[in-house]
C-alpha cells in the first residue's frame, strides 16, 4: 500500500516537472520567439512613424531652421540627403509665405515588416492645420506612406510619400 | 590554494568534489528512496511539485504579459486573408457608375453589417442619389489597406483611398480619403465590416 503511494507521488512530481518544462518553453517563445520579434519590430516602427511623420508634416516659418533640423534628424539614407539638399529653399519658401502647418496623426498601421532587413512600411492618416500669410488656418486631411528603416538611432523615415491633399 | 587571494568557505571548496560525486548519488537515489519512510518521500514530492507549479504559474503569467495580443502581421496568413477579403468589395462599394448602381449596392449588402450599413448610407447616400441626374462615375482605388489591430475575430483597419469623380462628359475631380474600418469575422469564417468612418 505504502509502496504504491510513493510511486504515485513520484509520478505526480514527474508530471508537475514536465508541465513546468512546457510552460518554460512557451514563455521563452512568447518573449524571444520569431512572433515576438515581428511584434516588437511592428510596434517599434509604428511608434516611431507616428511621431516622425508628424514632425515631417509640420513646419513653422518662425522657427523654420530648427524645424528643418528636426526633419533631418528623423530621416535616413537618400531621403535624408534630399531633405538636407532642399533645406534652404524649404526654409525660404516657408518664410516667404509665412506658413505654419501642424500635423496630428489620427491613425496608423504597419502594412509590411521585414525583421531581417530592418524595414517596415507604415501608412498614416493625419489632420493638418495650415495657415499661410496670416490667413485663418484651414484643416486638411492627409494620408501618408512611410518606409521605415531600423538604424543605430532607432527606426527612422527612409522614404515618405503623401497620398493626400493636405501637405503644403 | 596558496595562490588564492581570499579563503573560500569550506562548502564552496568542497563543491567540485560534490559535483563529481553527483552521478553516483543519482544512481543511489532509488535505493535511498526505498530506505526512507513512505510519508517522508510523499512530503518531499509534494513540496517539489508545489514549487514546480508555482514556477510554472509565474512563467505563464510572465509569458502572457510579454506576448503582444495584437496578431496583425504576427499572424501573416490571417492578416493578408483579412485585407485580401476586404480590398475588392471595398473598391466596389466606393465606386459608382450612374448606369450601373446595382453593382455598388450588391457589394455593400455583402460587405457591411450592423452600424456600418447606416454609416455607409450617411457617407455615400448623397453621391448615390445624385449619381443618375449628374451622370456621375466615381472610380475608387484602395491604395493601401493596413491592419491597425487584430484580436481573434475582431479587427480595426486603416484604408487610404484615391477617388476620381467624373460628372457628365468631361468634368473631373479627384481626391483622397482616409477610412477607418472595424471588421468582425462571422462564425462562417468570412469578414464583414461593422463600422465605417472617414478620418
pLDDT in tens, B54-66: 888 887 787 777 6
Supply the pLDDT for residue A168. Answer: 32
Closest-CA distance, B151 to chain A, in angstroms, reads: 13
**ipTM greater than 0.85, yes or no?**
no
Is residue A22 a part of any domain in this protein? no
Q: How far is CA B27 from CA A8, B22, B31, B46, in A?
A: 20, 9, 8, 22
Closest by CA position to B147, among listed B178, B121, B183, B105: B183
Kindly state the percentage of chain B with pLDDT values over 70: 93
pLDDT tens over chain A, length 168 residues: 567 777 788 888 888 888 888 878 877 777 777 778 999 999 999 999 999 999 999 999 999 999 999 999 999 999 999 999 999 999 999 999 999 999 999 999 999 999 999 999 999 999 999 998 888 889 999 999 999 999 999 999 999 999 765 333
B/e letters for B125-149, b = 16+ CB within 10 Å, e = fewer, are eebbeebeeeebbbebebebbbbbe
Q: Is residue A96 part of a domain?
A: yes
Residues B151, B82 contacting (CB under 8 angstroms): no
Whether B121 has a pLDDT exceeding 90, the answer reads: no
| Interchain CB contact of B41 with A (< 8 Å) | yes
Residue B22 exposure: Cα atoms within 13 Å on the Cβ side? 6
Q: Which residues of B touch A42 (CB under 8 A)?
A: 70, 72-74
User: Can you give the CATH number for the domain in which A105 is found?
Assistant: 3.10.450.540
Boundaries of every domain in chain B: 10-66, 76-198
Residue A135 domain-assigned (yes or no) = yes
Mean pLDDT taken over chain B: 85
Instruction: Give DSSP secondary structure letters for B103-148.
Output: HHHHHHHHHB-THHHHHHHHHHHHHHHHHHHHTEEEEEEEEEEEEE
Q: pLDDT over 90 for what percent of chain B?
A: 38
The CATH number for B76-198, chosen from 3.40.50.1220, 3.40.50.300, 3.10.450.230, 3.40.50.720, is 3.10.450.230
Per-residue pLDDT, A65: 94
Q: Within a domain: residue A140?
A: yes
Q: Decide which of B79 and A136 is more confident.
A: B79
Chain B partners within 8 Å of A28 (Cβ):
63
Q: Which residues pair with B176 in a beta bridge?
A: B162
List helix spans (H) across chain B: 10-13, 15-20, 22-35, 38-66, 76-93, 102-111, 115-134
Q: Which of A4, A7, A12, A13 to mutate to test the interface with B (most CBs of B within 10 A)?
A: A13
Q: 3-state SS of chain A: helix, strand, coil percent to 5? A: 50, 30, 15
- Vertex B94: Cα angle to B88 and B96 (nearest 5): 110
Question: A122: closest CA among A54, A69, A33?
Answer: A54
- Alpha-carbon distance of A49 to A155, in angstroms, equals 8
What is residue B190's three-state secondary structure?
coil
Residues in chain A: 168
Task: Indicate whether B2 pLDDT > 60.
Answer: no
Distance from CA of A165 to the nearest CA of B (A): 7
For A108, which of B158, B162, B177 is closest by C-beta distance? B158
Bridge partner list, B145? B159
Whether residue B190 lies within 8 A of chain A, CB to CB, comes out as no
Shortest Cα distance, chain B CAs vs residue A26, angstroms: 7
A103, A112, B53 from B144: Cα distances, Å: 20, 11, 48
Which residues partner with A123 through β-bridges?
A: A109, A145
| Number of folded domains that form chain A | 1
Check if the beta carbon of residue A16 is closer than 8 Å to that of residue B49: yes
Higher per-residue pLDDT: B135 or A126 = A126
The domain containing residue A124 runs over which residues? 33-162
Residue A10 included in any domain: no
The torsion of the CA quartet B18, B24, B27, B33, rounded to 10 degrees, works out to -50
Residue B53 or residue A49, greater confidence = A49
In a domain, A110, yes or no: yes
| pLDDT of B27 higher than 90 | no
Hey, what's the cell of B192? 464583414
A59 part of a folded domain: yes
- The confidence score (pLDDT) of residue A165 equals 53
Q: Are A108 and A114 in contact (CB under 8 A)?
A: no
Q: Is residue A147 part of a domain?
A: yes
Amino acid at each position: 500500500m505504502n509502496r504504491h503511494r510513493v510511486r504515485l507521488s513520484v509520478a505526480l512530481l514527474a508530471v508537475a516537472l514536465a508541465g513546468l518544462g512546457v510552460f518554460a518553453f512557451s514563455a521563452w517563445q512568447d518573449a524571444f520567439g520569431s512572433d515576438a520579434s515581428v511584434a516588437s519590430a511592428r510596434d517599434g516602427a509604428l511608434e516611431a512613424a507616428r511621431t516622425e511623420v508628424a514632425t515631417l508634416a509640420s513646419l513653422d516659418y518662425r522657427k523654420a531652421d530648427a524645424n528643418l533640423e528636426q526633419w533631418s534628424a528623423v530621416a535616413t539614407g537618400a531621403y535624408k540627403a534630399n531633405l538636407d539638399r532642399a533645406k534652404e529653399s524649404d526654409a525660404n519658401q516657408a518664410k516667404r509665405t509665412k506658413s505654419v502647418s501642424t500635423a496630428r496623426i489620427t491613425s496608423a498601421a504597419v502594412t509590411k515588416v521585414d525583421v531581417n532587413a530592418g524595414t517596415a512600411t507604415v501608412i498614416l492618416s493625419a489632420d493638418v492645420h495650415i495657415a499661410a500669410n496670416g490667413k485663418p488656418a484651414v484643416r486638411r486631411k492627409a494620408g501618408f506612406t512611410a518606409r521605415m528603416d531600423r538604424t543605430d538611432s532607432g527606426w527612422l523615415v527612409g522614404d515618405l510619400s503623401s497620398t493626400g491633399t493636405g501637405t503644403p | 590554494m596558496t595562490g588564492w587571494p581570499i579563503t573560500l568557505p569550506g562548502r564552496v571548496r568542497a563543491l567540485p568534489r560534490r559535483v563529481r560525486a553527483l552521478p553516483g548519488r543519482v544512481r543511489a537515489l532509488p535505493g535511498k528512496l526505498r530506505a526512507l519512510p513512505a510519508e517522508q518521500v510523499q512530503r518531499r514530492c509534494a513540496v517539489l511539485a508545489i514549487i514546480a507549479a508555482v514556477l510554472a504559474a509565474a512563467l505563464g503569467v510572465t509569458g502572457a504579459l510579454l506576448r503582444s495580443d495584437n496578431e496583425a502581421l504576427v499572424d501573416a496568413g490571417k492578416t493578408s486573408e483579412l485585407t485580401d477579403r476586404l480590398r475588392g468589395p471595398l473598391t466596389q462599394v466606393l465606386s459608382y457608375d450612374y448606369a450601373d448602381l446595382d453593382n455598388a449596392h450588391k457589394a455593400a449588402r455583402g460587405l457591411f453589417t450592423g452600424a456600418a450599413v447606416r454609416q455607409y448610407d450617411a457617407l455615400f447616400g448623397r453621391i448615390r442619389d445624385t449619381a443618375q441626374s449628374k451622370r456621375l462615375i466615381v472610380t475608387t482605388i484602395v491604395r493601401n489597406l493596413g491592419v491597425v489591430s487584430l484580436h481573434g475575430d475582431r479587427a480595426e483597419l486603416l484604408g487610404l483611398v484615391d477617388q476620381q469623380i467624373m460628372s457628365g462628359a468631361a468634368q473631373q475631380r479627384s481626391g483622397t480619403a482616409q477610412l477607418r474600418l472595424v471588421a468582425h469575422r462571422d462564425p462562417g469564417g468570412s469578414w464583414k465590416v461593422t463600422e465605417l468612418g472617414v478620418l
